[in-house]
Amino acid sequence: MTRWAAVLAKALLLVAAMTAAPHSRGHAETLSLAISDPVIRLNPNYAGAPIALFGRFDETSPDATYDVSVTVVGPARARVVNQVGRNAVGMVVTTRRVYYDRLPTLAHLITNRPLDRFADDQTARRLSLRPVDLIEDARLGTDPDGEAFDRALLRDLVQRNEYGVDGHGATFISPGFFSARLQLPSSILSGPYLARVVLFRDGEVVDTAEQAFVVQVAGLGSRLTQMARRAPQHYAALVVFVALATGWLGGVIFRR
C-alpha cells in the first residue's frame, strides 16, 4: 500500500468520525479539525511523507462563499543570511548580515484557491498566513534592505521545498467539509509541527483553529543531517574529529 493510499484509508475513518461526532458550538461556523497522522515516524531512507488535514464547520450561509487557508509550520531556529562581496585585493568577504530568530524550518501555505482571491494583503500579513510573512516576522533589526534579504532567503527555502504555496491544495469535499494535503520534504526535521487553519466567509475571517502533529525521524544518518542543520558548529567539529581519528587509525594500521 502506498503512503497516499494509507493516508486515504485513515482519511475515510476520520471523515466518518467527524461526521458522527457532535459539533461543539462556540459561534456560527466553528471549525473542527483532524489529521491523518498525529505522529509521523520516518525511516532513514524516506523521500518525504504525505499528510492530510480535514476540517468541518456548520455552514450557516448557503449563499456565502467559503474559503480556507492552512499554514503548516515546523520547528523554529535561528538563521543568518550573508551578503558577500570582494574587498580591495579581490578576496570574497561577507559585507552584510541579517539575522532571523525563531524562523520556521518548514512553512507551507495551502488554500482552496489563490489567497489573493479572498484575502487582502493586510489580512494575510496580520495573520502571518504566507511563508514570506513568517520570514518577515523572524527578521531582527531594521536593515533598510531587509526585504531583499527576505526574498533571497525565501527563494532558497522554496528551492529546497521547505517553503511553498499551493493555491489549490485544499478542497471542499462537501458544504462545511474540506481537506488539505501536503507532501512533507525529505529534509524535514524531527520535532513538533503545527497546522494553522483560517476559515473565510465572503473574504471575512469567521474562525481559526490549530492542529498539532509530531515528526520522528529515525536512524544515524538522519540524526547527523539534523545536527548539520541545527548545530553546524558541532557538526563541523565532529567531521574534523572523525577525519583526524580516521587518519590516525590509518597510520597505525599501515605502520603495522
All three cell numbers of 36, joined, read 491523518
Residue partners of 99: CB distance under 8 A and separation at least 6: 78, 79, 80, 139, 140, 141
pTM confidence score = 0.76
Q: In residues, how long is the chain?
A: 256
Residue 4 or residue 98, greater confidence? 98
The DSSP string of 95-138 is EEEEEEEEEES-EEEEESS-GGGTS-HHHHHHHT-SHHHHHHHH
Confidence grade of residue 48 (pLDDT, cut at 50, 70, 90): confident
Three cell numbers at 118?
479572498
How far apart (Å, rounded) are the C-alpha atoms in residues 168 and 110? 7
Q: Which helix (H) or strand (E) holds 23?
A: none
Q: What is the pLDDT of residues 128-159, one digit of tens each?
A: 999 999 999 999 988 888 899 999 999 999 99
Residue-range domains of the chain with CATH: 3-218 (2.60.40.1930), 220-256 (no CATH)
Average pLDDT in the 41-58 region? 84
Question: Picking from 30-34, 90-94, 234-238, which range would have the lowest pLDDT averaged per residue?
Answer: 234-238
137: CB partners within 8 A, 6+ apart: 128
Task: Report pLDDT digits (tens) over 85-143.
Answer: 676 666 756 668 899 999 999 999 999 999 999 999 999 999 999 999 999 999 998 88
Long-range Cβ contact pairs of 121-124 (< 8 A, separation 24 or more): 123/205
**Degrees to nearest 5, angle at CA 14 with 10 and 19:** 150
